[in-house]
A and B are shown apart, each in its own frame.
Chain A
């Protein structure tokens, strides 16, 4: 004999939480969900990563002398010409990056607070290893946030760069790395950046659902390579000034 099981619609199961007159929009669903916020983090992180890849290549031009480096600095202002007015291209990039940094930082703070609240009591028997990557991401992210502010004040607005001259980026870079604190700040931040990218790139692949058992090793290798190349590329400049290769 067939025993009929009562069919329940998905609706009865969905009444958990607040009853809703209208289903929430995809955008709201996205921003409210931990998975959506992680997706925002991954996407904004990848935007910043793409920018950093271009940035490091630009920086390496200091090795070809002041003319080439300063010409590159001027080109950044002409970017997109003649379609775009002078500096419009640069400002578009700046706005996109600012949005990425803001979205990334806001999501990071909200997710981290949520994660800490979800585990209010620590175990009496300690195992510090467990949260190493997470703690590195949080502290590393915080250091990078401070660094971004310092970096803009140092080489964009020239506020904190004592010997800076507007329109002379090569000379300003040399000025920055002629101070001990300039070297300490940049090198520390770039080591933090390497660690952040190493875990972040791998995480982003997972968040966006592109990882998988088969691709995991390749993704890890790509994350290591990216982290190493960017960190080494950025640190090469202060090291070159310190050793007198660039002056």
Chain B
């Protein structure tokens, strides 16, 4: 396959940045999108140019590091991560636009790499349980109903990639935050800090400069893990409940 790849190039956080077009040949449709970028970078290095910086780690759709907006869609045209997207989703001769996540809370570090530490701070505000668990407990010590376990697991699937923020026209982190809030609210281990958790996580989300939800649904469409839109409704319910309930 032969492609024109237009990539956002930005030397560092302060530099202005612009889209740059590259012609690239010899792309196989079995390559992943990141392998296509690797191929591009080989050419760039060989011709003495600065390679395109992009985040990646596991390359198997579980770490959440890869973060590319491809032709305007976070993670590209398929419901998966950019590392699990294959070049067969594109046609020979296509022009492909690759941009970084865009949100005030995710400043660009270089090229396609953004700083997502705002997500870490939301998690630090309450996305954990404080019980000292030691080694893995005996599996039957705390009984969890099947529905609750399934519900928790559905939300625990969030890999913190930030595609929801990138896709949202308001740069809102509601889907990400709701995933953790719903995950822990469904489990007995999460119960002691249930109210404090949602209040602190939402306050941190606001303080980090993410926007609000206007129910466009773009986040849930972009999410590679299928965190559903009603999870945001459930978080709103948790938040209102926490305001009324005991505040520890």
Contact = CB atoms under 8 A, between A and B. Distances in A.
B132 A4 contact: yes
Interface string B207-237: 1011111111010000000001010111011
Nearest to B199: A29
Contacts of B121: 16
Contacts of A124: 6, 8, 19, 97, 99
Interface stretch (A51-59, A64-72, A209-217): A209-217
A8, A205, A209: which has the most chain B beta carbons within 10 Å?
A: A209
Nearest to A38: B212
B196 interface: yes
B135, B207, B212, B243: which has the most chain A beta carbons within 10 Å?
A: B212
A130 B230 contact: no
Interface string A26-46: 100110111101110000000
Contacts of A216: 230
Interface string A128-151: 001111100100000000000000
A171 B214 CA distance: 42
Contacts of B202: 33-35
Interface in A146-205: 199, 202-203, 205
Interface of B is mostly: mixed
Nearest to B232: A206
Contacts of A7: 130-132
Nearest to A200: B215
A115 B209 CA distance: 9
A209 B133 CA distance: 32
A125 B135 contact: no
B105, B130, B135, B214: which has the most chain A beta carbons within 10 Å?
A: B214
Interface stretch (B41-49, B84-92, B168-176): B168-176
B200 A123 contact: no
B212 A34 contact: yes
Given A10-B200, A134-B216, A209-B240, A118 B104 contact: yes
17 contacts: A7-B132, A9-B130, A16-B125, A17-B207, A35-B202, A35-B239, A115-B211, A118-B104, A118-B170, A126-B72, A127-B72, A205-B233, A206-B236, A208-B240, A209-B237, A209-B238, A216-B230
Interface of B: 6, 8, 19, 69, 71-73, 97, 99, 102-105, 121, 124-126, 130-135, 167-172, 193, 196, 199-200, 202-207, 209-216, 218, 228, 230, 232-234, 236-241, 243, 247-248
Interface of A: 1-10, 13-14, 16-17, 23, 26, 29-30, 32-35, 37-39, 111, 114-127, 130-134, 137, 199, 202-203, 205-213, 216
Given A116-B170, A206-B233, 18 more contacts: A9-B130, A10-B126, A10-B200, A10-B248, A14-B200, A17-B203, A23-B247, A26-B243, A34-B205, A34-B206, A111-B212, A115-B172, A119-B104, A119-B170, A126-B72, A127-B72, A137-B214, A207-B236
